[in-house]
Structure 1
Amino acid sequence: MKNTYIVAGLMSGTSLDGLDIAICKFELKELKWSYEILEAATVEYDEARRNSLKNVMKGSAESLASLDFDFGYFQGSAVKNFLNKLNIPVDFISAHGHTIFHQPENRFTTQIGNGAAVAAVSGLPVVCDFRSLDVALRGQGAPLVPIGDKLLFKEFDFCLNLGGIANISYDDNTGKRIAFDVCPANMVLNYLAGQKGHLFDKGGALAKMGSLNKNLLETLSKIEYYSKSIPKSLGKEHVDDLFIPLIENTKDSIENLLNTFCHHIAEKVTDIIKKNKISDRTKVLITGGGAFNKFLVELFQEKSGVGIEFIVPEPKIVSFKEALIFAFLGTLRWRNEINSLSSVTGSMKDNCGGAIYLAP
């Protein structure tokens, strides 16, 4: 079995920014993995695609099946067009897909972006559907990134991803990897920014202009999800049902609502870090679109106190870490090695998830 792979990792997050493509090189030497992002780009969604992904869960079974293939053809074309500009041979594509339903408590999860369609258009093998096996094994099917955090980003005590949903991973004092979804992040912040005609709150500028609504902050903290024990995970439907109604029923300015929700994210994240840090010098890696929200990052530092350092890496890692790690999960699946940890998801056992479609 070879120890060097070049993989195209694809990620489409709940914040609906676009399709992230990362061409990644992985090398295994002396039982240690190294990585390099060779090239990366985001293919932004036009308004029609963004709306179709946002609203498909409200449509018919037929519309879901149609969008599954349509999004697969889109991904395959996007990768093919990107690779045509590069002189880089790729072993296979590793695609997360786009999550439409995620209800592990009801034992199902759905990511669209049909793997056969991706393979047919791109002409490359495809690894996809990473979450289903873990859910079938009575796990949460999420988060899956932590094994990549553990094997590729060992120098950090905590890895915090601020995508549509904020999730965190870390080793406990026994060395066991723990991870879970903390709270909504960009999914709510982008929703609020949209009320002002923006796709997102650039740099947290709108939130910084606002003031804290203490009543809303207190109400958000009482949401049932926070009293649940881990493992646990959030889906879009949970955000729509639990969080958005509270915000919509609060009569306040958009700036104040953004400010308050940033405080909410910061409180939930820093509480976890302070309770679980092992040393007095703790390093936290921040990635995902929320890492560019300067106001939010300032709140993390402000609320965490001395001895905890929040690190925002180079923009390529910030923006493409999830695509990188799904490329890595695909590599582990290709090698038939564990890529989902039961300590993280609560499944019956560690497992090797993902369906493989060979090149046509």
Structure 2
Amino acid sequence: MKNSIKHVIGVMSGTSLDGIDIAYVKINNTNNYTFEILNATTVAYTKEWKSALKEGFHLKGEELTKLDADYGVFLGEIIKNFIEENKVKNVDFIASHGHTIYHNPAKNYTLQIGNGPYITSITGIKTICDFRTQDVALGGQGAPLVPIGDLFLFSEYDYCLNLGGFSNISMNENNQRIAYDICPVNIVLNHYVASLNMEYDDEGKIASSGAIDLTLLNELNSLPFYNDVRPKSLGYEFIVETIFPIIDKYKLEINDILRTFVEHVAMQITRKIDSNPSKNILIAGGGAYNTFLIERMQWYTKTKIIIPNDTIINYKEALVFALLGFLKDEGENNCLKSVTGASKDHSSGVVYEF
């Protein structure tokens, strides 16, 4: 072990486009892995950036290449500002997830834009990024990557669930860590509430005022993906090609769409966990603030739902990408074949030195 203590800036942008999460963390592996989040912030996207990243899915060739470069410069600048504003003195490296534009491991590709060279050139700090591509090349899903953090940093919980653009879960099974994406969440809810000139449904209040459309609910629940064997992961392609067309053909009021989709999410998630009061599940990600969704989940399960403090809710993924960078920097495996389905455990990520 070259250095058991490292100070890392972890950077995460999720598919729900809530903003860019930046966490300055101290990771210690003297005996086992421990962490301290020393400073953290979320930089909200402007309307222009939110639109550009949404449209990135439809861009080709030169336009997408330019977006990749522009976004890399943008990330570099906000990280540099974060360092200056918080007077951060000691950074071993930056670990950046980038922003996912394409993710289709079944067709052997994934793309996260805005990665390393631009961040390194602007900040002057070594940057580790592109954590998914190698796993896909090794036959894996390239996702989810957070379970290595659940294993090392949050092992006291029976299940770890992230409620972001998509929901994903991780747990130990037969002495192995397993994990997979369950279903879309905020990426769908935010899309429909946007027609009301809102960014999100605060605490699920609009959804709670709606009525369930049983025909739509049954059609969503019967999608083949939910019966696919794991490992498996989801991308925006699934939303555009499958979810939106199904919902839109029903021509429902927005509150009824939200109410039906919340029920769908609660049902799909709780199908994956034991209904056992002696077990617990840690929930992080923006969806942890959707009180109505949490209530519907608890209605279906006796498993104890644990909502952590705001720092963990908001910055758990940025923290875990800092850990992924830590492991890469140490030459240790940070992708588990039991999670992604790759041909072997491996140390993923690309390193850019200043």
The TM-score, its normalising length taken from structure 1, stands at 0.96
Alignment match, 1:179: 179
Amino acid of the residue matched to residue 134 of structure 1? Answer: D
Alignment match, 1:106: 107
Ranges in structure 1 where 5+ consecutive residues have no aligned partner: none
Say whether 1:326 aligns with 2:327: no
Overall identity of the aligned pairs, in %: 43
Alignment match, 2:353: 358
Distance 2:277 2:86 in 1: 45
Question: Which whole-Å deviations, capped at 9, do the CAs of 1:236-294 have from their partners, x for residues lacking one?
Answer: 011111111111111221111101111111000101002xx7x6511100000000000
Alignment match, 1:13: 14
Amino acid of the residue matched to residue 111 of structure 1? Answer: Q
Alignment match, 1:281: 278
Secondary structure at the counterpart of residue 319 of structure 1:
helix
Ranges in structure 2 where 5+ consecutive residues have no aligned partner: none
Distance 1:63 1:43 in 2: 24
Amino acid of the residue matched to residue 352 of structure 2? Answer: Y
Amino acid of the residue matched to residue 116 of structure 2? Answer: G
Distance 2:165 2:175 in 1: 28
Alignment match, 2:28: 27
Distance 1:250 1:149 in 2: 39
- Spell out the pairing of 1:1-360 with structure 2 (5 A cutoff): 1-30=2-31, 32-88=32-88, 89-172=90-173, 174-274=174-274, 280-304=277-301, 306=302, 308-359=303-354
Question: Which whole-Å deviations, capped at 9, do the CAs of 1:89-148 have from their partners, x for residues lacking one?
Answer: 111100000000111111111000131001001111000000011000010000000011
Distance 2:195 2:181 in 1: 26
RMSD: 1.0
Distance 1:249 1:122 in 2: 48
Distance 1:126 1:29 in 2: 23
Distance 1:165 1:237 in 2: 12
What's the CA shift for 1:87? 3.0
What's the CA shift for 1:17? 1.1
Matched length = 352
What's the CA shift for 1:44? 0.7
Distance 2:50 2:242 in 1: 22
Secondary structure at the counterpart of residue 272 of structure 1:
coil
Distance 1:91 1:66 in 2: 29
Distance 2:323 2:96 in 1: 11
